[in-house]
Amino acid sequence: MREVDLKKYSLKDLLLAAMKSEIESHLVYTTIAEQVKNGLLKDKLKFLAKEEEKHRIFVEQVYKAKFPKKKLTIPKTTPVPLPQLIIPDEDTPLGTILKNAMNAEQA
């Protein structure tokens, strides 16, 4: 993945993009957890989903502190490029799922 020059985006745009990314990641982990049969993997995915929710709450608190008079509305799209999140089907190898998740986290 290529580097993005974050200086060209406003703090507001960056925070909204971060919240959108956390929401989407939570959805992916939750959806995958509902599909897998392996109990250990299901627990790990639920844990990751909870972590994404914690991240969203943290970023939301920062947003509200920086922009107390602005209404918080998560955009459908953002000017900040986000990694593509794909909900895999049940035939996708676990290694591929985890690699894609890690790539999204690093973006």
Residues 66 and 104: their CA atoms lie apart, in Å, by 26
Residues 31 and 26: their CA atoms lie apart, in Å, by 8
* Residue 20 or residue 100, greater confidence: 20
Confidence band for 54, pLDDT divided at 50, 70 and 90:
very high
Query: Is pLDDT at 77 greater than 70 in this prediction?
Result: yes
Mean pLDDT in residue range 52-73: 96
Contact 22, 59 (CB under 8 A): yes
